[in-house]
Amino acid sequence: MTQSRRSILTLLLLLYLAGVLGCKKKKKEEEWLRPVKYQKVQLILPTQIKSFSGVAKAGKEINLSFKVAGTIEMLPVKVGQRVKANELIATLDATDFILRYEQATASMKDAEAQRQNSKANFQRTKRLYENDNASLNDYESALAEYESSEARVSSFKKQKELTEAQLSYTSLLTPISGVIAEKRVEINENVVVGQVIVVLNSGTDMELDFMVPDIYISRVALGSQVKVEFASIPFKKYLGRITEIGFSAERRSSTYPVTLVILDADEYVRPGMAAEVYLELKKEGGEKGIVVPVSAVGEDNKGNFVYIIHKENTKKQEIGVLEKRYVKVGEIKPDGLMIQEGLVEGDLIVTGGVSKVNDGLKVRLLD
């Protein structure tokens, strides 16, 4: 091998090694971009927390009652019992209703017999009249009697249907499956039409009713989320969502009914439990502000600062360059520090590890 060929091979080898080392160095630099957590700055409306007392209830609560009055004869269900659709809940003493049904049935049979006789008489009189063997007066009299008997049959038929329906109303059945929440009557008790016999809870959703004074009701919004606490369940807090807001105030008060659904209800929450509802209400006339996590704010001899992230376009990963920006901080809020100057809505800021980064540093953004 000549000296010139050795020189060329050596040069190519050096170029190859330089390229490999360069790629490794570049790859290493990319791998060592410091990862940082971040968030977008948003304007926050000033709020205040108010608590209101309420009572839990099943998502579907049905009051079951009779359509006829009478005396309770049977009441086989118990509070807390699970029942299926069309299951017997209670019965009334049906003696009077049976008698009325039997009388109506007998009256209808008599009316039908009379109709048959009057029909036969009418048909005979009609033939005689057509053969000039009966007068017009006889014909009209037979026709009137036949039509009258038809009307009596129709009347007694409706009466029978009514007494039959009333007889069926002496048995109270469940319209859907559920749990017996309350029994409001006892056996041998006289009840009137529409009087609640039992309360049936059905459905998996658990709701809660509470009252809000008129001075706050305009600041309650449908769909807003609230916190719920039960005195009987001290080890857990629940999340609710406002589903109904009353349009009219309750009588003799200046409060409005509000209903929420408990989003994470479990087996501990039961109808009738007392609860406290905590609403975050917007303060009227308050100023908007920016609140950032305490971990996002650093301090040096010039004052408080945050790191703004300027994103770079890259297909491989989220990359950004940091800008150190001094800010004026205000009071401490439950969610962090109020920023009075230095930030605008939409800015991206580093939310952790501000002591480990510096101005101009390129970083990798974590989701």
CB atoms within 10 A of CB 302: 8
- More confidently predicted of 97 and 366: 97
Question: 210 and 278: one domain?
Answer: yes
- Interval 44-60 mean pLDDT: 82
Residue 210 belongs to a domain: yes
Residue 16 belongs to a domain: no
Question: 110 and 235: one domain?
Answer: no
Question: 307 and 335: one domain?
Answer: yes
Contact 228, 52 (CB under 8 A): no
Residue 9 belongs to a domain: no
Question: 295 and 350: one domain?
Answer: yes
Question: 292 and 358: one domain?
Answer: yes
- More confidently predicted of 13 and 155: 155
**What is the residue whose two structure tokens read 């948003």?**
42
Q: How does the average pLDDT of the chain come out, rounded?
A: 86
% the chain with pLDDT above 90: 52
> Which of 282, 300, 323 lies at the terminal end of a domain, its last residue?
282
Residue 22 belongs to a domain: no
Digit-coded pLDDT (tens) for 171-220: 999 998 888 988 999 999 999 999 999 999 876 678 999 999 988 888 88
Question: 191 and 213: one domain?
Answer: no
> Which of 282, 298, 323 lies at the terminal end of a domain, its last residue?
282
Question: 68 and 55: one domain?
Answer: no
pLDDT at 57: 86
Question: 350 and 312: one domain?
Answer: yes
Digit-coded pLDDT (tens) for 74-98: 999 999 898 998 999 999 999 999 9
CA distances in angstroms from 206 to 60, 239, 307, listed in the order given: 8, 12, 45
Q: Which CATH number do you get for residue 162?
A: 1.10.287
pLDDT at 267: 83
Question: 134 and 71: one domain?
Answer: no
Question: 259 and 298: one domain?
Answer: no
> Which of 234, 254, 282 lies at the terminal end of a domain, its last residue?
282
Residue 149 belongs to a domain: yes
Q: Which CATH number do you get for residue 185?
A: 2.40.50.100
Residue 106 has pLDDT above 80, yes or no: yes
pTM above 0.85, yes or no: no
Q: What is the tally of structural domains in the chain? A: 4
Residue 21 belongs to a domain: no
- More confidently predicted of 250 and 338: 338
- What range does the domain containing 71 cover? 61-92+170-198
Question: 82 and 142: one domain?
Answer: no
pLDDT at 304: 94
Digit-coded pLDDT (tens) for 20-43: 555 555 544 455 788 999 999 887
- Interval 115-135 mean pLDDT: 90
Q: Which CATH number do you get for residue 34?
A: 2.40.420.20
Distance of CA 185 to the CA centre of its chain: 31
Digit-coded pLDDT (tens) for 307-336: 999 988 766 678 899 999 999 998 887 778
Q: Quick one: three-class SS letters along the chain?
A: CCHHHHHHHHHHHHHHHHHHHHHHHHHHHHHCCEEECEEECCEECCEEEEEEEEEEEEEEEEEEECCCCEEEEECCCCCCCEECCCCEEEEECCHHHHHHHHHHHHHHHHHHHHHHHHHHHHHHHHHHHHCCCCCHHHHHHHHHHHHHHHHHHHHHHHHHHHHHHHHHCCEEECCCCEEEEEECCCCCCEECCCCEEEEEEEEEEEEEEEEEEHHHHCCCCCCCEEEEEECCEEEEEEEEEEEEECCCCCCCCCEEEEEEEECCCCCCCCCCCEEEEEEEEECCCCCCEEEECHHHCEEECCEEEEEEEEEECCCCCCEEEEEEEECEEEEEECCEEEEEECCCCCCEEECCCHHHCCCCCEEEECC
- Interval 66-75 mean pLDDT: 96
Residue 6 has pLDDT above 70, yes or no: no
Question: 82 and 178: one domain?
Answer: yes
φ, ψ dihedrals at 3, nearest 5°:
-65, -40
Residue 230 belongs to a domain: yes
Residue 101 belongs to a domain: yes
